[in-house]
Structure 1
C-alpha cells in the first residue's frame, strides 16, 4: 500500500520554505517604473520611444530636462493604481516619494491592434526643485 503525498514539496524535503509566488502587476506598473527611470535620469528618453503614441513622446522630451525627479536622491514609487474607463484603455497614477517630498504621475495607456500597451498622455504634478 502506497501513502499519498499531501504536500507539494519535493520528496525528502522537510523544511517549510516555499518558492516565492509571482504577483502579476499590470502594464501600468511596468510603465510607471520605466517613466520614473526616464524622469530621474537613469534611462534616456528614447528608451520609451516604442512605448508611446501621439503627443506623449513629445511630452516626455519636454518633461525630461526639467523634470521634478532628476535632482533628487533615488525617487521611489510608493503607490500605483489604475482605472479602466473602457476596453483597451488604462488611466493610471503613481505616487512618487523622495525623502519628505511627494509627487504624482498620471498617464494613459492604450492597447493597440497588436495588443501592446502604449502611453498616450503623461502628466507630472508635485513639488519641483
Structure 2
C-alpha cells in the first residue's frame, strides 16, 4: 500500500529543511506599525486624531491635509501595504518608505520617525506621491 502525503518539498528532495525566510522570527520595527496606522488614517478607516499623540511638529497638519475627502486613498478599493522599508540616517531617526497598492494603482508613501527622550517613536513628516490622474 502506498501512502500519499502532501508535501511542499521539491521533487527529489529528502531532507526536512526549509529555505531561510528573511522575515521568519523577525519582529517588525516601528516603521511597520506607523505605516499601517498612517494607511488606515489616510484611507479613512481610522480618524486622523488617532495619531495625535504619535506625531510631532508639522506632521499632524500634514495628515489633516492628506485626509481630506479627496485624499490619495479615498476611493472604493481598500489600499494594501505591499512593502515597507527603512533607512537610519542617525541615532533615534528612521526614514521609512512604503508601497501601497489600490487595485492596479501603486502609490508611494514616505515618513520620518523620531525617537523622543521617553524612547517613543513619533512621526515628524509624511509625504504621499503616486500616479497623477
TM-score (norm 2): 0.78
Given candidates 84, 87, 107, the residue that maps to 2:91 is 87
Partner of 1:3: none
Q: Which runs of 5+ in 2 are unaligned?
A: 1-23
Q: Which runs of 5+ in 1 are unaligned?
A: 1-20
Given candidates 65, 68, 73, the residue that maps to 2:77 is 73
**SS where residue 42 of structure 1 aligns?**
coil
Would you identify which runs of 4 or more consecutive aligned residues in structure 1 move more than 4 Å?
Answer: none
Given candidates 22, 27, 30, the residue that maps to 2:30 is 27
Deviations for 1:65-112, whole angstroms, at most 9, x for unmatched residues? 132101141100100000000000000000000111000100000000
The answer to whether structure 1 residue 61 and structure 2 residue 94 are counterparts is no
Structure 2 CA distance for aligned equivalents of residues 61 and 123 of structure 1: 12
Structure 1 CA distance for aligned equivalents of residues 46 and 25 of structure 2: 26
TM-score (norm 1): 0.81
Structure 2 CA distance for aligned equivalents of residues 23 and 43 of structure 1: 27
- The range that moved more, 21-30 or 60-69, is 21-30
Offset at residue 22 of structure 1 (A): 5.0
Structure 2 CA distance for aligned equivalents of residues 70 and 63 of structure 1: 10
Given candidates 38, 47, 52, the residue that maps to 1:49 is 52
